[in-house]
Amino acid sequence: MAFTDRSFTDRNDAPAPPGGVKELFAATLLLTLAAALALRAFVSLDALAPIVATLLFALAASIAGGALVPRNRKRRAAWLDVAGVLTFIGVGISIVMDSDQMVRLVTLSDQPE
């Protein structure tokens, strides 16, 4: 009988310890900090906050995409947690950002290029 077969329930699919997740999170934050410090010399300070927020959203999307790889099934929840934290930080930066910064980025300037 199929319902008395216990071989299906005896599988050992315990979640793997989240090795490397702290390093992934720290590396992502260090990469964002390095990019922000490097871009500070090339863009105005008004444009820096939207760029950092966008970078955090892009990194969160790439980590979430990496979590969906089938061979990474055991660490999926931990990687999605890291992606969620990066998204939360990006939303926090977007909330703190002044709306005038976005208006200055979108409107045309009278300065010659």
Q: Does 90 reside within a domain?
A: yes
- Token readout for 21 is 């997740």
Range of the domain at 44: 30-105
What is the per-residue pLDDT for 73?
Answer: 79
Q: What is the mean pLDDT of each run of 10 residues along the chain (113 residues)?
A: 58 60 92 93 85 93 90 84 95 85 66 59
Q: Does 4 reside within a domain?
A: no
What is the per-residue pLDDT for 49?
Answer: 87
Q: Does 59 reside within a domain?
A: yes
Q: Are 67 and 87 in contact (CB under 8 A)?
A: no
What is the per-residue pLDDT for 29?
Answer: 93
What is the per-residue pLDDT for 16?
Answer: 56
Q: How many domains, the chain?
A: 1
Of the candidates 38, 34, 36, 24, the residue with the CA atom closest to the CA atom of residue 86: 24
DSSP state of 60: H
Q: How far apart are CA 58 and CA 18, in angstroms?
A: 22
What is the per-residue pLDDT for 57?
Answer: 95
What is the per-residue pLDDT for 62?
Answer: 95
